[in-house]
């Protein structure tokens, strides 16, 4: 199987971008809302959520595309695309969520 070209679109890349984008919007705000026990805190971290959205989307696209290609050697193409996209999208989201938790604890 040939390696995908840089940024080549496939099911895993699209799912990774969507997962990264949606998770990135709330990755920083959710730890703040949990720690302060205030639901309105979800809108307090708008700037960090937007930055996380803008960073997590392309990282999820590239990671999901490459992971789905690697998983396609062991799984069917559709299952590999879905699983690779979810995992690829959650990489940057998890990083931003941990950073948000660390940032809110130190505050």
Q: Check residue 23 and give its pLDDT.
A: 80
Tokens read off for 66 = 């490459």
- What is the widest separation between alpha-carbon atoms in the chain? 50
Q: Is the pLDDT of residue 6 over 60?
A: no
Residue 46 lies in a domain: yes
Question: How many domains does one find in the chain?
Answer: 1
Per the CB < 8 A criterion, the answer to whether 87 and 15 are in contact is no
Residue 1 lies in a domain: no
Q: Check residue 5 and give its pLDDT.
A: 58
Per the CB < 8 A criterion, the answer to whether 86 and 68 are in contact is no
Q: Is the pLDDT of residue 76 over 60?
A: yes
Domain that holds residue 35: 11-98
Residue 104 lies in a domain: no
Contacts of 6 (CB under 8 A, 6+ apart): none
- pTM of the entire predicted model: 0.76
Query: What digits encode the pLDDT tens for the residues 18-62?
Result: 888 888 777 777 777 787 888 787 777 777 778 888 888 888 888
């Amino acid at each position: 199987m040939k390696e995908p070209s840089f940024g080549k679109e496939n099911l895993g890349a699209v799912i990774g971008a969507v997962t990264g984008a949606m998770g990135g919007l709330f990755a920083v705000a959710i730890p703040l809302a949990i720690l302060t026990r205030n639901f309105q805190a979800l809108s307090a971290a708008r700037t960090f959520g937007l930055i996380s959205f803008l960073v997590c989307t392309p990282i999820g696209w590239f990671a999901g595309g490459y992971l789905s290609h690697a998983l396609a050697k062991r799984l069917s193409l559709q299952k590999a695309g879905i699983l690779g996209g979810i995992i690829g999208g959650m990489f940057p989201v998890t990083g931003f969520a941990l950073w948000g938790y660390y940032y809110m604890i130190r505050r």
